[in-house]
Structure 1
Amino acid sequence: DPYITKEVAASLGVELVLMDDLLATSDFISLHVPRLEETKNLVRSATLQKMKKGVRLINCARGDVVNLDDLAEALSKGHVAGAALDVFPQEPPDYSAAIFKQPNVIFTPHLGASTGEAQEKVAEMIAKQMVSYLLEGVIINAVNFPSIPMETMAKLRLHLDLAEQMGSMVGQMVRQPCDMNITYSGYVTEFDTRVLTHAALKGLLSCFTDRPVNFVNAPYMAKAKGIKVQETIQLQAVEYTNLIRIDLPGIKEDLNEVWGTVFAKKYERIVRIGKIFLDAIPQGPMILVQNVDRPGVIGNIGMTLGKHGVNIARFQLGRTKDKEQAICTVNLDTPVTDDVLHEIRALPHVLSV
């Protein structure tokens, strides 16, 4: 295949060879090519002569890829031991042609999915795939999105949610569209991470537009806004058995990166914000406060929320090694208004909310 790289071939476990080498060494040749100018009459007298004696040829690709008169001659001389044909240069074919007089050829009608039974099965598959997407978010056979088998979706569901939450978090922290570097490490790299990148973009872009953002249109919206995304795969886990790391290379602020993981394959956690390690659960309404590490800050935040009748579900704190700055994440039972956020921002030693 002249259109794939050595790296792709290696990932598929196949070896790229020249056409002449393939013809000379293969016992069975099965054609899988599109109809292009360079594939028309790909198999003809000259190519058949290069094939190994006793070769068997299978063509279920396109009819005009094989010159049937040349193939019939090679079959009659015994150079080609047999052939199987599902497609023909013209359909219905001319049954008086020499190829149909060869006893060592298997012919099948070019039906594809044209039978009544096949059409019924196709309709059933489409219906089931739509149900899977609407009820479970499983995307199968999409033309503009990586297909995710149901069993893979079950394993990736928490990571998808985590990636989207992380994208939303960095978007709210920097308050501007920005380039994004995403690094995956550990067992999460066993899957197609593109879908996780789409989820992170969905979370990020939802902060800056009132248009609906979803897994499919997120990459296109990012491109339209000039947002560049760099995806890196690290097969070997370092700090955690699996890790999603989002860095914002163009942001000079302290809060320019977020790390997330899934513990025991069932507990989502934000484990680092900026340079500060912590253990935050990205669920429900949550506020993130960056502050100078001084006595009274936590109490003031709690009192402000309590004054407005907002109950704290979980409070997690982390701070820098020099104990100068801290970050706290506060999970809430109910969302807070902008007025409450402004009030917290005005508290002593609070840097951002």
Structure 2
Amino acid sequence: MPGVLRSGTGVLHEAETVWIAMLDGWAAQQFARNLSPGTVEARRATVLRFRQFADCYPWEWTAGTVDEFFLELRALKGAARSTVLGYQNALRMFLEYLTDPAYGWAEQCWDRFGDHPAQVFHEWNTARHAQDTVGAPGKRPYTRDELEDLFDCADERVLRIRRAGAKGWIPAFRTATIMKVAYAWGLRRNEVRSLDLVDFATNPQARQFGGAGIVYVRHGKAMRGSPPKRRAVLTVPEFGWAVDCVRQWAEDVRPLYAPAGSTGMWPSERGQDAITADSLSRAFTEVKREAGLDEDLDFHSLRRSYVTHLVEIGYDAFFIQQQVGHEHASTTSIYTGLSPDYRARVVDRAIARMAEAATSTDTDKES
């Protein structure tokens, strides 16, 4: 870390020492954001691979090296488009970390090597903003790794815009928080964008969540000819992390943006109490594409993920049905897309039970 590598301090193999400290510092930053070890290690492996190809250190990387690396990856090694997007996203975020003045790497490198890291992944030399689809997986839940990439990308956008001194960091913060709320409480697009401040309330049975133990949905999907359905969604412990996101937006950021007298949770740039559906969809799509995720994964996939992950955790089917406001259990089952890892665990447990039963039978026969 820069605090350890003080300017002017001589070390053996100085460049390699700085390089390793950069990797360790980036890993610490990602772990501080509560990313999984698997995600952090996969991104680290990508950076190591690029470093080996470039045969130089980050303060010497150029846009030309980027072109050569991805030309080889696609043309010679036949990497899938989704792989390329994932690599570009990881490398871009690594350089975002190195060029952030808060971490001091530019100053360290300039003092030691007479050069400094620069962002060499731009819109014009990466594919993350391309309109063509990555694949056609159909409507499905996000995997947990995809969710981490999505939310991490949304947070990175806020930091990038704010560091540039642009005014758009608050709308970007709003988009990031809306996405997390939609996932953490299983809300539809219209349900989440229509929330008011008063729709977040305390659950007397779960006071650890403060004023966000219950979310009251007043604009639920209605049957034809009926008024909007209302329901109360309880905050579950596995998604308790989202309570801090709501609190930070409501107490620290929203007051900088909301017009006087507004009660809407997500006021718009035009002074309206709620962001429009189209504006939310556009903002979400920008984040999703920047994160390099499949085009078929939409905003509603956040709700599919909520249902799927509650099933995988082991929540009762009727409880999940009530949480998401489905009239019939069959509707909830359609939303569920259990991950391969979860299915493998189910099979492993079944095999273990069979083996245990067989062992018990053999023991009984011997007796």
Structure whose CA Rg is larger: 1
Flag the structure with higher helix content.
Answer: 2
Determine which structure has greater relative contact order: mean sequence separation of CA pairs < 8 Å that are 6+ residues apart, divided by chain length.
2
Decide which structure has greater strand share: 1
Shared fold, TM over 0.5: no
Band the TM-score falls in, shorter-chain normalisation: under 0.3
